[in-house]
Structure 1
Amino acid sequence: MALYGYTIGEDRDGNASNGKQLDVYRFLIPTAPTSLITPTRVGTVNIAGTVTNADLEGLGTNPITGRVSAVNEPRAGGTPSTPPTVIRVDNVDQPFAGTSVLPTLTSSDLRRFGFDSGADFGRDYSVSGQPIVLYNISGNDDSKNGSVGSSLYKITTATPGVVSLVDSTPTVTERQGTQPTNLGKFADGLAIDNLNPGRTRALASDFSTADGDGDQLYKVDLLTGQLSAPIVIRNSAGQPLNVDADSGLAFTNVTGSYQQLFALLETGFVYGITGYQDDLNAAGLGLGDGFATATLLGRVNLPNALSGVVDYEGFTIANH
C-alpha cells in the first residue's frame, strides 16, 4: 500500500476576479531520504466570490471514508469584529471531486482565533457514540497581530455542518476570537492517531520561530482543547531543529502497521518525526522525555514554493 501526501497551495494567480484557484497536489511519501519529490496535480478548488480567507490550510483524512477534506484559515483581516466565512471542501483527494460547504458558527458570537490553520479528523469525545468530526487548530504566532496562542475547533461532518469551540469553560473573549484558549502556545499543524483512538492521541506542530520559541510539538486534548507542555523537536544530531516555516502534520494511520508521523513545511520540505511515542503514550497531557527527532526526507517540488510566492501549509496522508 502506497502512502500519498496531499497539500493545497494558495490562490495560484492572486486574481480575485476569476475566483480563488487553489491547486491540490499529491506526492509519494518517501521511505528513505531523497532529494526532490515530484508531485502530481490532482485538481483545482475554485472558491468563487469575495472570500477573503480562502487559503485551505487545514487538511485531514476521514478514517471512515478515506477521503480528504480541507478547511480554510481562520482570519485574513486583523480584527475578529465580523464572523469570517468558514469553508470546508470535501473529496479533494484522488479521484478529485472537490465540493465546498459553509458550516454554521455556534454559539452565535463565535469567531475563530488566529491566522494559521491545521486540521484532521477524529472522534468527538463530548458526544455519545463518539462520531467523527473535523478538528481545526487555529493559531497566531506574531504578537503584532494580538495574543500569541492557539484554539481548537471542531466541525461536524453533516452538510453544511456546525463549527464550535473545543473548551470546557470558554470565556467571552475566547468565543469572540480575541484571546486563545492556549495562551502562548502557537500551533498550525494537527495530526490525530485514529489507529489507537483516545482524547489525547493527537499532536499539534509548531515549526515557527516568530512566536519567540523553537520548533516543537504539543499533545492535544480533544475534549478540552488544551495543549500540553512543549515537546522539543531536534535534528538527527540532537540539536534544536530551528527552522522557521508554517507546517502541516499527519499520521499514516495504516491499519495493522506501526504509526508514523510526518510534517510538511510550506516550502515543500518533508520531515519524518520519531521519538514522540513516549510522550504520546503518557497519560493525559503528561509527557515522556519531552523530545522528538525530525529527519529531512526531501523536498516536494511544488510550483513557486521554494521562492515563497505560493505557500503550501496544509498536509494530510491518504492510503491508496
Structure 2
Amino acid sequence: MALYGYTIGEDRDSNASNGKQLDVYRFLIPSAPTGSITPTKVGTIDIAGTVTNADLEGLATNPTTGNVIAVNEARATNPPNPIDPVVIVANVDQKSITSPTHTPSDLHRFGFESGADFSKQQNALYNISGNKTANLGGEPVGSSLYKITTGNPGTISLVDGFGPATTAAQRQGTQPTNPGKFADGLAIDNLNPGKTRAFASDFHTSDGNGNNLYKVDLLTGELSAPIALRTPSGQPLNVNADSDLSFTNFGSQRLIGWLETGAVYEITGYQDELAASGLTLGSATGSNGAGFATATLLGNVTLPNALATTPVQYEGFTIANK
C-alpha cells in the first residue's frame, strides 16, 4: 500500500462532436522534497459533448471505500440560466457518472473554479466554488460551500448558516456567501473530525489577497480570516495558479497542496492555527500573532503539456491509499 496523488487534465481534444476526453493520472506522494515526479496515466474519462462545462476540478477520496470521486467546475455561462449540471464521476477507474438534484430547484453553484472533498462524519461530498475576479460572468469575488449527498442521483445544496437568511441571489450564484475570499481547493480532516477540521486553499496572487488557507466550518459554510502561506525561510509564498488541497487521512497525517502546473507542496504549522484562540472564524490573528502556515515544495509532477504556452490545466487533486 502506498499514498498516491490523483489529478485529471482538461479536455485534450478540441473536437466537440466526439465529446470530451479527460485523462486521469496518479503519482506517488514523496515523503520529502525531491526533484521531478513521474506520473502514470490510469485511464480516460469520456463525457458527452452536450455537457459544456465538463472540467473535473474537484477531486475527493471516499474514506470508506477508497474510491476517487470528481466534481466538475461550477458553471460555464452567466446565472441564472441555464441551471448548470453537476457532473460527478465516481470511482474514476470505472468512470460512472451521475448528476445530483439541486435543492431547492433554483440553486446554482457560484463561480468558475471548484474544489471538493468527502466528509466521513457527514457522509457527504463537499464542493467549494468561486471566482478569483469579478469579470468572469460578471459575478462578484467570493466563495460558497455546497453539500452533495451520496446516492444516485443524490442532492446538492448550499451550506449557508452563519449570517442572515440565504437570499435568492446567493442560491442563484449572483452573490457570494463569503465575499472577498476566493478559494478553489478543499481538504477535510477525516482522522480528527470536527466542524472546523477542514481547510480551503487559494494559491493565487492575482485575486488580490495572496496565497492563503482558510478554515472552513462544514456546518455553516463560513470561511475564516486568511492564514497566510509562507516559504520555509519565512518569506510570503508567491505563486499564482489554481489549486487543490488534500489531507493524507491514513497513518501519520499530512496536508498536501497542489497547483495546476503539477507542483506539490506540504503544508505544516496549520495545527497551531486550528487550535489558536485568536483565529476563530472571522478573526484576524492566530496564536503566532499573524496567522500563517508553511508551504514546502516537495517536487513537480511532469504532466503532459502542463507548462506549455497554452497549457493543459490539472486543477483537481486528491490522495488515495492504493
TM-score by length of 1: 0.94
Q: Structure 2: how far apart are the matches of 1:200 and 1:34?
A: 32
Indicate which of 114, 118, 121 corresponds to 2:115. 118
| Residue equivalent to 2:208 | 212
Matches within 5 A, 1:162-311: 162-168=155-161, 169-254=165-250, 257-282=251-276, 285=281, 287-289=286-288, 290-307=291-308, 308-311=310-313
Deviations 1:85-110 (A, max 9, x none): 11111001xxx111100111110110
Return closer, same or farther for 1:251/1:269 CA change in 2, 3 Å cut-off: same
Deviations 1:244-272 (A, max 9, x none): 00001000001xx3320111100011111
| Residue equivalent to 1:63 | 63
Deviations 1:134-163 (A, max 9, x none): 100001001212211100001111111101
Matches within 5 A, 1:150-169: 150-168=143-161, 169=165
- Deviation, 1:280, is 2.0
- Alignment partner of 2:107: what SS? coil
Consecutive unaligned residues of structure 2, counting only runs of 5 or more, are: none
- In the alignment, is the contact (CA less than 8 A) between 2:79 and 2:172 conserved in 1? no
- Deviation, 1:306, is 1.2
Counterpart residue identity of residue 75, structure 2: R
Deviations 1:10-36 (A, max 9, x none): 001222111110101000001111111
1:72 aligns with 2:66: no
Q: Structure 1: how far apart are the matches of 2:227 and 2:248?
A: 20
Deviations 1:2-60 (A, max 9, x none): 11000000001222111110101000001111111000111111011311110000000
- Deviation, 1:172, is 1.2
Aligned length in residues? 309
Consecutive unaligned residues of structure 1, counting only runs of 5 or more, are: 124-129
- In the alignment, is the contact (CA less than 8 A) between 1:143 and 1:211 conserved in 2? no
Deviations 1:214-242 (A, max 9, x none): 10000000000000000000011101101
Q: Structure 1: how far apart are the matches of 2:287 and 2:178?
A: 21
Q: Structure 2: how far apart are the matches of 1:69 and 1:153?
A: 15
Q: Structure 1: how far apart are the matches of 2:5 and 2:72?
A: 18
RMSD of equivalent CA atoms:
1.3
- Deviation, 1:210, is 2.2
Indicate which of 304, 318, 321 corresponds to 1:319. 321
- Alignment partner of 1:153: what SS? strand
Counterpart residue identity of residue 315, structure 1: F
TM-score by length of 2: 0.93
Q: Which runs of 4+ in 1 moved over 4 A?
A: none
- In the alignment, is the contact (CA less than 8 A) between 2:79 and 2:108 conserved in 1? no
- Alignment partner of 2:17: what SS? helix
